[in-house]
Amino acid sequence: MKTFEFILPRRPISHQAKNTEHRQQWKDFVFGRAFQKWQGAPIANERIRFTVVYLCEEDPPDINNIIKPIQDALIGLVYSDDNLIIDVQGHLRMADELIDITNLPPLLQEVVINGVDCLYVRIDSSSALGNLL
CATH number at residue 123: 3.30.1330.70
Residues 3-46 have pLDDT tens digits of 999 999 998 988 777 778 888 999 999 999 999 999 999 999 99
| pTM of the model as a whole | 0.92
Domain range holding 39? 4-132
At 33 the pLDDT is: 97
Query: 26 CB contacts (<8 Å, ≥6 apart)?
Result: 12, 13, 69, 73
Report the 10 Å Cβ neighbour count for 54.
Answer: 25
| Total domains, the chain | 1
Residues 82-91 have pLDDT tens digits of 999 999 999 9
